[in-house]
Copies of this chain bind each other. A is one copy, B any other.
Amino acid sequence: MEFVSEATPVDLLLHPEWIIPIEPAGVTLADHSLAVDQGCIVDLLPRAEALRRFRPRETVFLPGQVLLPGLVNLHTHAAMTLLRGFADDLPLAVWLSERIWPAEARHVCPDFVYTGTLLACAEMLRGGITTFSDMYFFPEAAAAAIQHAGLRAALGLVILEFPTRYASDAADYLSKGLAMRDAWRDNPLLSFCIAPHAPYTVSDKTFEQVAMLAAQLDLPIHTHLHETRQEIEDSLRQHGVRPLERLRRLGLLGPQLIAVHAVHLDLAEIDLLRQEGCHIAHCPISNLKLGSGIAPLTAIHGHGLNFGLGTDGAASNNRLDLFQEMRFAALLAKGASEDAAVIDAHTVLHAATLGGARALGLDGQIGSLRPGKAADLCAVHLDDWLLQPHFDPATHLVHVAGREQVTQAWVGGRQMLRDGTPECIGTPELLKSVNLWHTRIAS
């Protein structure tokens, strides 16, 4: 019997049924506990030892639940929740040029972005997502919503050549993005990416500037790449090379590059991306819904290329739900390669956490339950009758559970989802404002 005085005081001690720490890989722990202090993970250790070693200010028992790192949504356009279901079952060209772009031209403004992003944050927390990478107009309005909701995010400094209500040309987008970064860079939950929209909307000159700035400011580059066959054919016609080769020549490849979608890659391209240390944001549902195709995930993973998972925006998904994305990633890879053993549950869980964190350069801070990292966590209820029986928590997360089984989530040690309800959904005016936008967009 030790003296209580020998126990270390901590803010929070969590006692879940199981823990999947992601690091070390492929492990599911039973009878373990997680200690959190000052927003960070202090220790992950056997329950009996945890009860002896720590004197917590708050104790949370999570019976029948699995605790894992908060999920990382590596690609979204958060504010587009307001266009959820606005245009479905349409060919990509019609969807974009006749529905989405005109709607954006009419409606997108700081309030649209604030409201849509806050709704997105609530939805993401509901599904255990604690970090996301965003690319949209008026990112300072998104930053305000994210701060309000209490999530962690990597905000894109979006760049296009053509004018929108947000900015007039590439230089204007860039200067507005940099000003946004200056205004918000002291926020410990925010980081930034340079986000040239895509090879077909950004010029060589701008890409060169992006490469230079990314190196100077040590920022990831987040861009749509090889999403559709059309994009590749157009590039061959206009530039004589495929978009990836064009970006290589312009000096964009390297560990800072996050290639979003990457549906159409041949093996040489996969190998090039791996050699350069690039990352893939795999968005399986969006790729299917827009008819883009099926990304070669088995080869991407087999070549050792790092990948995370992204929901894309709610107009092309239509849920910001990484549980769905995990399931689609695993199942599509098995089906497309006709091999049931590929992309197993732990691989998918890694992608949804540490894979995404690594792509964003945040793997020192989040993505696994290593002491010293931020306490970004989510808990999932596997003892729900609807999920019975269960034999392996990891495969149950990927193949059975849904976001509706997420119970609690913490960001930097602060509980932002409680018993399935995001703190920010109670925000006065949020749902009223969503309704107003709904009416305006529908009319």
Contacts and interface: CB of A to CB of B under 8 A. Distances in A.
Interface of A: 81-82, 84-86, 88-92, 95, 119, 122-123, 126, 229, 285, 287-294, 317-319, 324, 327-328, 331-332, 334-342, 344-345, 385-392, 395-396, 398-400, 402, 404, 425, 431, 434-435, 437-438, 441-442
A90 B335 contact: no
B289 A85 contact: no
Contact of A123 (B126, B331, B342, B386): B386
Contact of A390 (B85, B122, B123, B390): B85
Contacts of A319: 399-400
Nearest to A84: B389
A339 B337 CA distance: 21
B389 A88 contact: no
Contacts of A287: 335
Copies of this subunit: 2
Contact of A291 (B292, B334, B391): B334
Main SS of chain A's interface residues? helix
Nearest to A314: B400
18 contacts: A85-B396, A88-B344, A88-B398, A89-B341, A89-B345, A90-B340, A91-B341, A122-B385, A287-B335, A288-B331, A291-B342, A292-B335, A293-B335, A317-B399, A328-B328, A332-B335, A385-B431, A389-B435
A317 B91 CA distance: 30
A303 to B, nearest CB: 20
A85 B391 contact: yes
Contacts of A385: 122, 425, 431, 434
Nearest to A430: B385
Nearest to A438: B389
Contacts of A285: 331
B345 A88 contact: yes
A388 B294 contact: no
Given A388-B84, A389-B438, A395 B331 contact: no
Contacts of A334: 288-291
B389 A229 contact: no
Contacts of A395: 85, 88-89, 318
Nearest to A290: B340
Contact of A289 (B229, B290, B318, B340): B340
Given A229-B338, A389-B442, 18 more contacts: A82-B389, A85-B391, A88-B392, A88-B398, A89-B345, A89-B395, A92-B340, A122-B385, A285-B331, A289-B399, A291-B342, A294-B335, A317-B399, A328-B331, A332-B332, A332-B335, A388-B438, A389-B438
Contacts of A335: 287-289, 291-294, 332
A89 B390 contact: no
